[in-house]
C-alpha cells in the first residue's frame, strides 16, 4: 500500500510542478481528485482482500474441523472394528478349545469302552472256556451198562447228623 501512495504522490508533484499559470489550480484539483479516487480504490481493494482472507480463514477452519471430526469418527470405527475382531477371535479360540475338549473326552471314552469291552470279552471267554473245558461231556456209548452213583462217606455222615 505504501508503494501505491508513493507512486500517486510522485505523479501529483510532477504534474503540479509542470503546470504553470492559471491552469495549475485546475490541474491540482484534478490530480487531487484522481489521488482521492485511487486511494479509495486501493482501500476498497484492501477491504475485498480482507474479506477474502476472512472467507479463506473460515473455509480453513471448517476444513480443519471436518478433518478432525472425520479422524475421530474413523478412530472410533477402527476401535469398534478391532474390538469386534478381538471378540470374534477370542470366541473362536474358546469354541475351538471346547470342541477339542469334547472330542478328546469322547475319544477317550470310546477308547476306554473298546478296551473295557475287549477285557470283558477276553475274561468272559476265558472263564467260559475253562468252565466248559472242566466239565467234558461224556459220549454215550451203546451197550455199556449204567454206572452206579458214587457215594462219598463224608457226605453221608454230614447228611445223617443234620
Query: What's residue 142's pLDDT?
Result: 63
Domain-embedded: residue 149: no
Q: How far apart are CA 36 and CA 83, in angstroms?
A: 69
Q: For the chain, what is the domain count?
A: 1
How many C-beta atoms surround the C-beta of residue 40 within 10 A?
10
115 compared with 86, residue with greater pLDDT: 86
Query: Helices 23-134 and 2-18 meet at what angle, rounded to 10?
Result: 170
Confidence category of residue 118, pLDDT binned at 50, 70, 90: confident
Q: What is the DSSP letter of 21?
A: T
Q: Which domain holds residue 65?
A: 2-133
Query: What's residue 117's pLDDT?
Result: 78
Domain-embedded: residue 54: yes
Domain-embedded: residue 155: no
Q: Under 8 Å CB-to-CB from 27, ≥6 apart: which residues?
A: 15, 16, 19
Q: How far apart are CA 7 and CA 4, in angstroms?
A: 5
Query: What's residue 110's pLDDT?
Result: 83
Q: Residue 46: helix, strand or coil by DSSP?
A: helix
Question: For cell 510532477, what's the residue?
Answer: 14
pTM of the entire structure? Answer: 0.35
Question: For cell 455222615, what's the residue?
Answer: 157
* pLDDT (tens digit per residue) in 38-94: 888 888 888 888 888 888 888 888 888 888 898 999 999 998 999 899 989 998 889
Amino acid at each position: 500500500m505504501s508503494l501505491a501512495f508513493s507512486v500517486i504522490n510522485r505523479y501529483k508533484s510532477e504534474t503540479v510542478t509542470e503546470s504553470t499559470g492559471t491552469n495549475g489550480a485546475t490541474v491540482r484539483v484534478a490530480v487531487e481528485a484522481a489521488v482521492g479516487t485511487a486511494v479509495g480504490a486501493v482501500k476498497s481493494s484492501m477491504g475485498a482482500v480482507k474479506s477474502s482472507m476472512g472467507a479463506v480463514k473460515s473455509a480453513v477452519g471448517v476444513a480443519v474441523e471436518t478433518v478432525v471430526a472425520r479422524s475421530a469418527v474413523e478412530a472410533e470405527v477402527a476401535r469398534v472394528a478391532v474390538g469386534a475382531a478381538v471378540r470374534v477371535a477370542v470366541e473362536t479360540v474358546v469354541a475351538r478349545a471346547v470342541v477339542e475338549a469334547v472330542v478328546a473326552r469322547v475319544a477317550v471314552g470310546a477308547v476306554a469302552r473298546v478296551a473295557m469291552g475287549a477285557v470283558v470279552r477276553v475274561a468272559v471267554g476265558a472263564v467260559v472256556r475253562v468252565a466248559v473245558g472242566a466239565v467234558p461231556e461224556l459220549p454215550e456209548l451203546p451197550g455199556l451198562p449204567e454206572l452206579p452213583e458214587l457215594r462219598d462217606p463224608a457226605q453221608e455222615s454230614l447228611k445223617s447228623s443234620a
